[in-house]
Amino acid sequence: MDGIISVLGLLTLVLEGISCQGVYAPPTVQIVHSGHACNVEEERYSERVYTIREGETLELTCLVTGHPRPQIRWTKTAGSVSDRFQDSSVFNETLNIAKIHRHQGGRYYCKAENGLGSPAIKSIRVDVYYLDEPLVTVHQSIGEAKEQFYYERTVFLRCIANSNPPIRYSWYRGRDVLSQGSDKGVEIYEPFFTQLQGETKILKLKNLRPKDYANYSCIASVRNVCGLADRRVVFRLTNKTAPASIKLLVEDPIVVNPGQTVSLVCISTGGEPAPSLNWTLSSGSLPQKSLMKDGTLTLPSIASEDAGVYSCVASNNVGNPAKKSTTIIVRALKKGRFWITPDPYHNDDNIQIGREVKISCQVEATPPEELQFSWLKNGRALRSSERMVITQTDPDISPGTTNLDIIDLKFTDFGTYTCVASLRGGGIPEISIDVNISSTTVPPNLTVPRGKSPMAVREGETVELECLVSGKPKPIILWSRVDKEAPMPDGSMQMESYDGVLRIVNVSREMSGYQYNGFNVKPREAVIELIVRYPPAVELVWQEVRQGLGRPVVMNCRVLRAHPSRVLRYEWRLSSRLLHAGTFDSRDDTDYTIRSLAREGYGEYTCDIINEVGPGRCTFLVTGKAYPPEFYYDTYNPLWQNRPRVYGYKLQWTQMNPNAVDRIMAYRLGIRQTGQQRWWEQEIPVEGNIQKGELITHNLTELIRPEAYVVRLTPITRFGEGDSSTRVVTYSEKCKKKWIHSAATRDTKYTPNTGPSGDRSSSKQGFYMYIETSRPRKEGDTARLLSPTFSVAPKNPYSISSPPAYCFSFYYHMYGKHIGTLNAFVKQKGQSTSDAGPVWSLSGNQGDRWRQAKISIHPTASFQVMFEGIRGPGIEGDIAIDDVTLEEGECPDPPSNPIRGVAAHSVSSIWPLSVTLFFTVFIGLR
């Protein structure tokens, strides 16, 4: 594998899709961090991960360049409603979140734009680490639940805790560590994941023995990641251990008057250990004024909004919590209304002597069964008779309504009738409603003023719906939608009006169709039709069309909805020039076709679909610009040049959608030192057609150390220049003395008795990696190489108790009398190098030849592999590596492993995998 390690990256690369023109420059953006980060790492090449402990301060700064100065906006990935990032964007260079919460983790984007080119966007994923106190719960086997845990019973102790990263659990009985196989009466279930509770571990005690009655400790650990210390919880299991049971010393339901003090008493009737008691309200949180002590919940000065179902919950972590509930009903009377209905058997709406008149009265009562009515005439009690009929149970009327029917109206019946509503038992003020019946009494009549229906209004305007009501006494007016299920603009089902006018602000198209209801038993309704007019809504609103010369282009604009929908016409334009116009017949879309695109056909096309309110517009930008090139994320640099103050760089890229436009004939390469204005430019010719995904390479030479450079790459077609991409090439002086990638021509003049003379295949042109031990290196100096992150996909997605196996192999060369140590590590996510420990290690002179190492590894989480070279006591101690691979499955016939005790599991493959590892520098020589 010549050159496997030759492309090891030693520099920081910044990739942005931007373009530059003169002194005006579109934005570039970079995210830097401060505050209390535990770790910042590159994961899966393209994802930066910022790890922070819950409660610390997150501070991210967006560094931008560009002229005019770009506007900066921070946003966060969309999540649940509770996850919204401050419900808006933050327009500020620095994003600061004090005391960050676990739900505030996620991907944060910094976007910079100044109107030139495309906006520059960078992102970073914030991973919030936390570890809650663990909780131990105890359960019996199904079908064995008893009040106590007797002998010959099997119980389960489950330890759960919320955390990020995943938890490692340990169990103790007293001071003794419990592990699988250490006790025949104990089984330990490996961690598994549940959506609500996170990672758990279960301890099973089979057929309880006397020694099983003891103190059990569960220790939850994330291995001190982010400084999160271990958490411990203790549970005492005895032969009296039992689940909680409770009793409520209250009635159900509890009916009270407003202003009273209510006490809900809940007592524990069993449970070991003693259960804790808590109260909850089904409709939400408990009232702020409530007081709770020793299982008693006190609600002082209770109000109607405090009504609901209250539950006492008792838990001692044994079995399921005990729960008992009671309902509090707060007595109330409200909203009294009346209406008058003339003789229903005649078509005359006037009140006349000798005819029938009905007076109706309605109120809302809680509880409704306690509601009672009485009637008065001129202040005196009125009883039901043959001519004065009082009813409360009419099936045709709404609940809480009473009627007074006056049959054969006489002159002596004129007067003031009073409807009195009260609740049995008193304590609530009565509601009384007076209704005058006289020769001047006029029943209500509803009309819509001329020209007020239908009402046509443009979307977004304010409208007043008007309904004239006559009658004496004047009734209350209720407004509702024609669709009884649809709410009014304020969210209620009905709105009251005393002047007959309903005012709606900012009318939307969904508000069409209102109905007026006079609330009469003999229906008196007036309907006002509200018509909301709005211009056509269309798709696509905007689209970029990239196409080469001589090719066809088809653009389509579709109308989704409009009011009025009749007499729709369309107009196609190129800039301001009218191309085509017409009207819609049976179709709801219109096309414009260019059979063969000419140079003058490039530009902005618009399609206006028009009704009497206005136009809806589709816009198409037809261009022959080539898409920007995409710098290959694994571009490695610098190219080693054995000359002082000079380095080179291998520029690699692929072309985005190369076949979308005309053939790319060349690239214009621009390069300038950072901080300078002058660009050096050259053209890179392209022979033939570029294929999608084809990797294109160009070597940059004569770069001056340690300067950084901005590189700009622009594709060129017959149309002209396409979109540009830029990146920053930075030479890091700190990195040059770490692992060095070298061809076999490395100079051994001064150290002839150390290091390899060629790569593993003995090629003089091949490459390998080695550590340089010459001065100024000192004994014990360390260099490390860290691979990208690899994901683990277990065969059973619900358990990783049997992790997949991989064969990690490489060749090493350790020749010289001063050879130090070569270590290989497997570093899992959330794990520090010191916690990981080497999976392979070797020290001292191994002779002048390449040897192969193979190690079977069994990661349970996403992982990286790392090499560590440690300098020995002298300069004849170069250590080299070559041909690093990672394959799925156990290593076949692996060479002897210098590290003893590494278990070799036998696990079937999940997917065929053969990966050549490319490394970036992780830690420099110290």
SS3 for 622? strand
Q: What is the DSSP string of 273-342?
A: SPPEEEEEETTBSPPTT-EEETTEEEE-S--GGG-EEEEEEEE-SBSSPEEEEEEEEE-EEEEEEEEEE-
Longest dimension (CA), the chain: 134
pLDDT computed for residue 776 by the predictor: 67
Rounded average pLDDT over 191-206: 67
Residue 611 pLDDT greater than 50, yes or no: yes
Residue 825 pLDDT greater than 80, yes or no: yes
Which homologous superfamily is 339-440 in?
Immunoglobulins (2.60.40.10)
pLDDT band of 9, cuts 50, 70, 90: very low
Q: Which of 142-146, 324-328, 882-886 has the lowest mean pLDDT?
A: 142-146
SS3 for 81? helix
Q: What is the average pLDDT score of the chain?
A: 80
Considering the domain delimited by 629-730, tell me its CATH architecture.
Answer: Sandwich (2.60)
Residue 302 pLDDT greater than 70, yes or no: yes
Where do the domains of the chain lie?
A: 25-130, 135-236, 245-330, 339-440, 444-533, 537-623, 629-730, 740-888
pLDDT band of 44, cuts 50, 70, 90: very low
Q: Does domain 245-330 have CATH number 3.90.1150.10?
A: no
Cα dist from 69 to 65, 72, 114, 123, 315, whole Å: 7, 9, 7, 20, 60
pLDDT band of 7, cuts 50, 70, 90: very low
SS3 for 210? helix
pLDDT computed for residue 157 by the predictor: 92
pLDDT computed for residue 751 by the predictor: 57
pLDDT computed for residue 228 by the predictor: 92
Top CATH class, 740-888: mainly beta
Rounded average pLDDT over 563-587: 88
Residue 603 pLDDT greater than 90, yes or no: yes
pLDDT computed for residue 567 by the predictor: 67
Torsion angle, alpha carbons of 129, 130, 134, 139, to 10: -50
Instruction: For 599, list phi and psi in degrees, rounded to 5.
Output: -60, -40
pLDDT computed for residue 770 by the predictor: 85
**Tens of pLDDT, residues 350-382:** 677 888 888 888 888 999 889 999 999 999 999
Tell me which amino acid residue 12 is.
Answer: T
Tally Cβ neighbours within 10 Å of residue 288: 5
CATH assignment, 25-130: 2.60.40.10
Considering the domain delimited by 537-623, tell me its CATH architecture.
Answer: Sandwich (2.60)
Topology (CATH level 3) of domain 444-533: Immunoglobulin-like (2.60.40)
Is the model more confident about 265 or about 183? 265
CATH assignment, 135-236: 2.60.40.10
Whether 444-533 and 25-130 are alike in CATH topology: the answer is yes
Percent of the chain beyond pLDDT 70? 78
pLDDT band of 134, cuts 50, 70, 90: very high
pLDDT computed for residue 822 by the predictor: 95
Q: Which of 120-124, 137-141, 393-397, 504-508 has the lowest mean pLDDT?
A: 393-397
pLDDT computed for residue 272 by the predictor: 92
Q: How far is Cα 18 from Cα 309, in angstroms, rounded to an integer?
A: 61
Rounded average pLDDT over 893-904: 46
SS3 for 192? strand
Is the model more confident about 67 or about 680? 680
H or E, element range at 136:
strand 135-140
pLDDT band of 615, cuts 50, 70, 90: very high
Residue 737 pLDDT greater than 70, yes or no: no
Residue 254 pLDDT greater than 90, yes or no: yes
pLDDT computed for residue 601 by the predictor: 94
Rounded average pLDDT over 539-547: 92
Q: How far is Cα 553 from Cα 573, in angstroms, rounded to an integer?
A: 15
What proportions of the chain, in percent to the nearest 5, are helix, strand and coil? 5, 50, 45
pLDDT computed for residue 780 by the predictor: 85
**Tens of pLDDT, residues 623-658:** 999 999 888 754 444 555 556 788 888 888 888 889
pLDDT computed for residue 898 by the predictor: 56
